[in-house]
Amino acid sequence: MNTDQEAILRLKNDAHLQEDRSAWRPTLLNLADADDREELDRLARCGLVHRVYDCLSRQIADLAKTRAAGNMPDDVALAAFQRELTDGMPLERWGRWAFYPWNGNLVHLLPSDLFRELRLNRNRNKLTLAEQDRLARLTVGVAGLSVGNVMALTMAMEGCFGTLKLADFDTLDLSNMNRIRASVWDLGVQKTVLAARQITEINPYAHLVLFQDGLTEDNLDDFLGGETPLDVLVEECDSMHLKIVIRERARQHRIPVVMESSDGSVMDVERFDLEPDRPILHGRIGEVNVEGMSPEALQFDMALRINPISGLTTRMAASLLERGETLSTWPQLASDVVVGGGHVCMAVREIGLGREMKSGRRILDPLALMTDGPREEPKPRASESRLPKPADRDDWRQLRPKMRSVVEAAVMAPSGGNAQPWRFYADGDVLWLAFDRDRSTNLMDRGGRASMLSLGAVAENAELQAKSLGWDTEVKTFPAPDQRHLVASLSFREGSPALDPLQPYIATRHTNRRMLPPAPIPAEKTAALGRAAQERHAEMVWEQDRERLDRWARLLGEVDRLRLLHPRLHRDLVGELRYTPESAAHSRDGIDLQSCGLDANALAGVFLISRPDVSAFLRAENGSRGLTKYGELPVRAAGALGLMVTAGTRPEDWFQAGRAMQRIWLAATAQGLGFQPVGSILFLLEWFEKAEEGFFNHWEAEVAKSIVEEFRNLTADIDGVPAFLFRVFESPQPVEPAHRLPLSKLVRVGSPIGRPLD
């Protein structure tokens, strides 16, 4: 044996230099504990600790800086922060020491909760704190740790799981290192161990479960279920047989599956949690005849069923022809694999957060996008109606004069954003009222409740007009149970004319948004509105105390601030606006901004906040308190705030509430009162109550929670369901009613039974 051989042999036999090739879990030591101090002494005596990294003071300073929104405290403030954080404990005994047995490193770190807070701080606000907490409860499985390695690491860096299960039977070869981030001294280490080491070197507190024999018939159900059932499975196995089996079991367990093919960035999502009967791999594999097929031929055939030749990139298709000739297997590039790791992490995150991530195949090829050349950004367009515009029909011309008069009165009813979500079918002496859901796309119309109010108001107008023409009316709600879009039928028969005192005000009823100095509303006028409500089994609650009105103003100001800044709520709100009288006259729906009584400054402000880029900037800056004025001013200019209360929450109840609402509004018109709905809180309350579920960003969630709390306080003594909120004020100046869609877009002749809404 020569000198070199002897030297190498001595190194190999030196116990201090031997690595446990199966070790992957760091030892966490708390030196405030005597046993852990003794364990650290043992590690030092045995020579197992090779390097010590103690930068805890830097971590504490970094934590102080992030909590101060990026402003580093001065030395005095930092020392005070450290004393408070450690409760005066010597720094050496505070926090945790992580010992990594595979490399001998000993690292001093923040405790787990502070470590997580600081490590994931830069995720905000791409991920809100509520979203991060939700992801921290997620259990994800990764089967196959070649391309799966980077997916696991990406999810670990982003904090996309609380528990991660890793499965692979193989060890690292040099040929794997074109796409697996590893060191040459990791050759021969199991891929599960390698991934676990890499993850715990990022986060020593990570909860990992390793399946080092890969997935087998004996352990597959434990991998998918067990003590911590999977919420999402990332499948990146080479075996086509295992791809099928694991999906069959995942479907039984109702676990969604995500897979990314690095060629052309093809990502498959199978939502077995939502579609338990969905065919595996989108039904692509069909029936496989394995008779006479070698395992290699079966693998190749199945691979091409999953990713047909027509979908392969040119180089991958050419490489497949060389497989078994000049190539041992199909090629993979690190750039493709890294991109795929990001795609899979995004998909897991969206599924874990309960966002929409439908089943199906996605082609996400970034190279194709880059080589196509740059694309011009679309230029912003002026806001226009998102509502459909059905073709005109001549049916309305066939209406008898009385029926036409009834319909013309009916369509004068109010609706949220002047969307007019109604259609009519005239069939003899019956007028059918239908809910047009295509005109009800606003988030505020959750469950169609706002539309039911409007449809109830339509029915009230129709009956009032019919009575004035000598028709008795029978109103039936939801007369065709199998056609829920048919909200009501109004059957007419000849009777004696009976003029309701509210009927003459149908044509002049309007929304008055003027801001006039507030004046008390006489008791006889509020009493008249109360009687109108009771005629349709509703009750009125009045707010006239200025202190409580101020509380309502602040509350509704915060509601409008969120509406103006949250992207979807902003889109809905801006979509209601018509910026010029010409656009309002053309569309015949929406709110004519010029008729809102705004002064030049306020009007300019609306135009500015209507721009999505302005709204997005303000939202990123945690909102603009000045935006609350749009909700506050109407209440501060109110003589009184009225809250209509009803008994139930079924669609029928909301329909009846709409009839009461219309009578109240007509009574206000008869009393010479200005009238403006201000009740968006009632229709957004359920969204605010779900502030923790990722709908809002972090500061919006806090505002939403405070809105819910204050609303509950203000309505604590109310017995019933708050259904409609409005302000009234003395207003001698009439306002022009909003535009209405022409009857040619709304009326059809004939029975709607068995006929879809057209």
The H-or-E segment that residue 677 falls in is: strand 673-677
- Tell me the per-residue pLDDT of 541-554, one tens digit each, with 9 for 90 and over: 999 999 999 999 99
The rounded distance, in Å, linking the Cα atoms of 280 and 243 is 9
- Tell me the per-residue pLDDT of 358-372, one tens digit each, with 9 for 90 and over: 999 988 888 777 776
Whether 65 maps to a domain, the answer reads yes
- Tell me the per-residue pLDDT of 91-100, one tens digit each, with 9 for 90 and over: 999 999 999 9
Could you give the angle at the alpha carbon of 516 between the alpha carbons of 544 and 707, nearest 5°? Answer: 50
- Tell me the per-residue pLDDT of 695-705, one tens digit each, with 9 for 90 and over: 888 888 999 99
Residues 640 and 725: beta-carbon distance below 8 Å: no
Q: What is the mean pLDDT of residues 367-392?
A: 51
The rounded distance, in Å, linking the Cα atoms of 741 and 755 is 23
- Tell me the per-residue pLDDT of 173-206, one tens digit each, with 9 for 90 and over: 898 888 888 889 889 999 999 999 999 999 999 9
Same-domain check for residues 243 and 101: no
- Tell me the per-residue pLDDT of 103-128, one tens digit each, with 9 for 90 and over: 999 999 999 999 999 999 999 878 98
* pLDDT tops 90 at residue 436: yes
Tally of CA atoms within 13 A in the half-sphere of 741 that contains its CB: 30
Please enumerate in sequence order all residues whose Cβ is within 8 A of that of 602, keeping only pairs 6 or more positions apart, or say none.
Answer: none
* pLDDT tops 50 at residue 377: no
Whether 736 maps to a domain, the answer reads no
Q: What is the DSSP letter of 516?
A: -
Q: If DSSP codes are grouped into helix, strand and coil, which group holds residue 374?
A: coil
Same-domain check for residues 694 and 631: yes
Strand bridging mode 163-167 / 139-143 = parallel
- The pLDDT, as a whole number, for residue 11 is 52
Residues 407 and 431: beta-carbon distance below 8 Å: yes
* pLDDT tops 60 at residue 283: yes
Mean of per-residue pLDDT scores for the chain: 87
Whether 232 maps to a domain, the answer reads yes
Write the DSSP string, 82-128: HHHHHTT--GGGSSEEEEETTTTEEEEE--HHHHHHHHTGGGTTTS-
Whether 536 maps to a domain, the answer reads yes
Residues 141 and 329: beta-carbon distance below 8 Å: no
Same-domain check for residues 156 and 173: yes
The rounded distance, in Å, linking the Cα atoms of 31 and 427 is 85
Whether 738 maps to a domain, the answer reads no
Whether 244 maps to a domain, the answer reads yes
The rounded distance, in Å, linking the Cα atoms of 297 and 290 is 9
The rounded distance, in Å, linking the Cα atoms of 736 and 584 is 13
**How many percent of the chain have pLDDT more than 70?**
88
| Of the candidates 434, 389, 429, the residue with the CA atom closest to the CA atom of residue 748 | 434
Q: What is the dihedral of CA 467, 469, 472, 477, to 10 degrees?
A: -70
Confidence of residue 5 (pLDDT cuts 50, 70, 90): low
Write the DSSP string, 311-326: GS-HHHHHHHHHBTTT
Q: What is the dihedral of CA 197, 202, 207, 211, to 10 degrees?
A: -30
Same-domain check for residues 563 and 692: yes
Whether 198 maps to a domain, the answer reads yes
Q: What's the CATH number where 484 sits?
A: 3.40.109.10
Same-domain check for residues 156 and 267: yes
- The pLDDT, as a whole number, for residue 224 is 96
* pLDDT tops 70 at residue 55: yes
The rounded distance, in Å, linking the Cα atoms of 708 and 481 is 35
* pLDDT tops 80 at residue 376: no
The rounded distance, in Å, linking the Cα atoms of 470 and 458 is 19
- Tell me the per-residue pLDDT of 498-516, one tens digit each, with 9 for 90 and over: 889 999 999 999 999 988 8
Most confidently predicted of 307-316, 518-527, 562-571: 518-527
How many residues does the structure list for the chain? 758
Q: Which structure tokens are listed for 230?
A: 């999977």
- The pLDDT, as a whole number, for residue 210 is 97
* pLDDT tops 60 at residue 384: no
The rounded distance, in Å, linking the Cα atoms of 280 and 300 is 18
Same-domain check for residues 366 and 403: no
Please count the structural domains in the chain: 4
Q: What's the CATH number where 608 sits?
A: 3.40.109
- The pLDDT, as a whole number, for residue 219 is 95
Confidence of residue 381 (pLDDT cuts 50, 70, 90): very low
- The pLDDT, as a whole number, for residue 671 is 95
How many CB atoms lie under 10 A from the CB of residue 649? 13
Distances from the Cα of 50 to the Cα of 23, 40, 101, 487, angstroms: 16, 13, 10, 77
Residues 634 and 727: beta-carbon distance below 8 Å: yes
Check: pTM over 0.75? Answer yes or no. no
* pLDDT tops 50 at residue 386: no
Residues 600 and 692: beta-carbon distance below 8 Å: no
Q: What are the strands, taking DSSP E only, across 591-672?
A: 591-592, 640-646
Please enumerate in sequence order all residues whose Cβ is within 8 A of that of 652, keeping only pairs 6 or more positions apart, or say none.
Answer: 477, 478
The rounded distance, in Å, linking the Cα atoms of 422 and 415 is 10
The rounded distance, in Å, linking the Cα atoms of 572 and 443 is 7
Place of tokens 């980077």: 150
Q: DSSP H helical segments within 377-477, as ranges? A: 401-410, 449-468
Q: Which of 103, 119, 135 is the last residue of a domain?
A: 119
Q: Which of 507, 536, 557 is the last residue of a domain?
A: 507
Same-domain check for residues 324 and 213: yes
Could you give the angle at the alpha carbon of 730 between the alpha carbons of 729 and 733, nearest 5°? Answer: 115
Q: Which structure tokens are listed for 482?
A: 């199998």
The H-or-E segment that residue 543 falls in is: strand 539-543
- Tell me the per-residue pLDDT of 341-356, one tens digit each, with 9 for 90 and over: 999 999 999 999 999 8
Same-domain check for residues 543 and 688: yes
* pLDDT tops 50 at residue 388: no
Same-domain check for residues 410 and 538: no
The rounded distance, in Å, linking the Cα atoms of 537 and 226 is 55
How far does CA 374 lie from the centroid of its chain?
30
Burial class (CB in 10 A: 0-12, 13-18, 19+), 506: buried
Same-domain check for residues 229 and 138: yes
Residues 647 and 542: beta-carbon distance below 8 Å: no
* pLDDT tops 60 at residue 291: no
Domain span at residue 47 reads: 20-119
* pLDDT tops 80 at residue 70: no
Q: Which structure tokens are listed for 712?
A: 């509950």
Distances from the Cα of 582 to the Cα of 149, 392, 417, 595, 636, angstroms: 59, 20, 17, 12, 31
Q: Which structure tokens are listed for 273?
A: 């949690």
- The pLDDT, as a whole number, for residue 390 is 47
Q: What is the DSSP letter of 441?
A: -
Q: Which of 507, 539, 569 is the last residue of a domain?
A: 507
- Tell me the per-residue pLDDT of 228-244, one tens digit each, with 9 for 90 and over: 999 999 999 988 889 88
Q: DSSP H helical segments within 107-239, as ranges? A: 112-119, 129-135, 147-158, 191-202, 220-224
- Tell me the per-residue pLDDT of 619-648, one tens digit each, with 9 for 90 and over: 887 777 778 888 999 999 999 999 999 999
- The pLDDT, as a whole number, for residue 592 is 87
* pLDDT tops 80 at residue 489: yes
- The pLDDT, as a whole number, for residue 368 is 77
Could you give the angle at the alpha carbon of 254 between the alpha carbons of 251 and 255, nearest 5°? Answer: 90
| Of the candidates 436, 427, 488, the residue with the CA atom closest to the CA atom of residue 463 | 488
Same-domain check for residues 356 and 232: yes
Whether 227 maps to a domain, the answer reads yes
Same-domain check for residues 478 and 528: no
Burial class (CB in 10 A: 0-12, 13-18, 19+), 90: exposed
Confidence of residue 314 (pLDDT cuts 50, 70, 90): low
- The pLDDT, as a whole number, for residue 321 is 47
